[in-house]
Structure 1
Amino acid sequence: MNRSPAKNVGRLILDYRSRTQTVNRPCDVFINHRGVDTKRSVAGLLYNHLTRLRLHPFLDSKSMKPGDKLFEKIDSAIRNCKVGVAVFSPHYCESYFCLHELALIMETKRKVIPIFCDVKPSELRVMDYGICPAKDLQRFSWALEEAKHTVGLTFDSLTGDWSDLVATASDSVIRNLIEVEEEQRYRLWKMVELLLPPEMEDRCCVSEMFSLCLYQRNKKGRELVREKEKQPGEREGVAVLGFGKREVRFFFLNSPFEQ
């Protein structure tokens, strides 16, 4: 059945808005994988499943467009994600990009869910072909050992069930995302208590505002946390952040929250 011109235009507008919102929103989950092994299997299936759950995963072939700078786009996605999924496969360690992504995930202390697909952890090792700087080899080896000693999932493509793997991996992602959100909630709330003036007694109101700030991913809230973490030795949060208590209170009570 043919659609009317008005409906077609409306659909195009909605599609454009959807794509625009997706591009501007930081990713929740970064899927680190070896394309030749798993892009058309577990990595692609997991990406599609997480997207249907209304999460925002990052997969290079799905999340990047022509003209994007590889390292710039990927590094930014890793630094802004909350959970990393590392899909290890037989040819994983042959890729500089895979190992670089894994090292950055580990260096930024993201939660990592390893998936060992058709490969055992003991079979994974960084190979020196004489073209990789010694510093990178050290980073990659360290990151790989960290991943190998993290509880993950194992899968044999000859005997395993793909749907079970995707479902189990998705459940693990969701559990880890909840843990990260709770950790951020605790840290932000402690900072709010430090910055708000003592005469502000309506803590229920503050708690509601704080929850909106956290769960709707207010950009300013994330910046406050990052700035606070840069000065772990400072006790007075106002001095560290450069905000007076009046400005901080105004922010939490009046700032527009992202929809």
Structure 2
Amino acid sequence: MQRLVASCSKLANTRYVRNPSLPNPNLCDVFISHRKIDTKKTISGLLHDHFTRLHLNSFLDSKSLKPGDRLLFEVNAAIRECSVGIAVFSPRYCDSYFCLHELMRLMENKKRIIPIFCNVKPSELCVKDDRTRPAAEIRRLQLALEEAKYTVGLTFDTSNGDWSEFLTMASDAVIDNLLDVEQGRLRSINPHVQEHICYYHQISV
């Protein structure tokens, strides 16, 4: 828990160095891609609520959208804005074109992805070609899925897993990746940024 608090503090300080006028200049920190029927009331909803308590802006369609919102417009906008994407792979994830579309957009926008294999093995995931979409698009979906399957992630069994331990591990992974993204942005602006980050971190503890 102490490590998590320290990491959150470091993230806040890094963002302050990048933009002192805004407490959190990111409209969306984390985009959560999930199959609602599998994970809405379990892992995905808990992740969204947990990140909210950590003052991270996470996008989960079932909680972030309201009546009247244009689904694809809002989803694509959140993907463009986010720093990190979480793909919660579940047994029926690949049955949904929209889930695969989100994953493809995350990959093609070069976002950092944290795969979570929930009650499913990477080898069990595949894109089913029902011949209703162009071959080129199916190939893009397949490439995105293959890249995600070979990205280091987390595994979780909802029947036997330790929920508290999982949420801690997921939070650590997200914050570590957010820090990497923020520091990369700062280095592109100021090559001496690490000195400022260390300074603000020291005076805040």
> TM-score, length-normalised on structure 1?
0.64
Q: What is the match of residue 136 of structure 1?
A: 137
- For 2:53, the aligned partner's letter is R
What's the TM-score once normalised by structure 2's chain length? Answer: 0.80
Instruction: Output the CA distance in 2 between the equivalents of 1:25 and 1:176.
Output: 14
1:25, distance to aligned residue in structure 2 (A): 5.7
Matches within 5 A, 1:43-82: 43-82=44-83
Q: Which runs of 5+ in 1 are unaligned?
A: 1-23, 191-202, 209-259
SS of 1:102's partner is helix
1:1-259 equivalences in 2 (<5 Å): 26-189=27-190
Deviation at 1:179, TM superposition (A): 0.5
After TM superposition, which residue ranges in structure 1, 4 or more long, deviate above 3 angstroms?
none
**CA-based RMSD:** 2.1
- CA–CA separation in structure 1 for the residues paired with 2:130 and 2:110: 28
Deviations 1:143-175 (A, max 9, x none): 000000000001112211222211211110000
Tell me the percent identity: 56
Q: Which amino acid aligns with 1:92?
A: Y
User: Secondary structure in 2 aligned to 1:30?
Assistant: strand
What amino acid is the match of 1:127? K
SS of 1:160's partner is: coil
- How far does the alpha carbon of each residue in 1:230-251 deviate from its partner, in whole angstroms, 9 at most, with x for none? xxxxxxxxxxxxxxxxxxxxxx
User: What is the rounded CA distance, in whole Å, between the counterparts of 2:100 and 2:137 in structure 1?
Assistant: 9
- How many residues align? The count is 173
Q: State the Cα distance separating 1:132 from its structure 2 match.
A: 2.1
Report the CA distance between 1:75 and its aligned residue.
Answer: 0.2
> What displacement does 1:73 show?
0.4
Larger Rg: 1
Q: Secondary structure at the match of 2:86?
A: strand
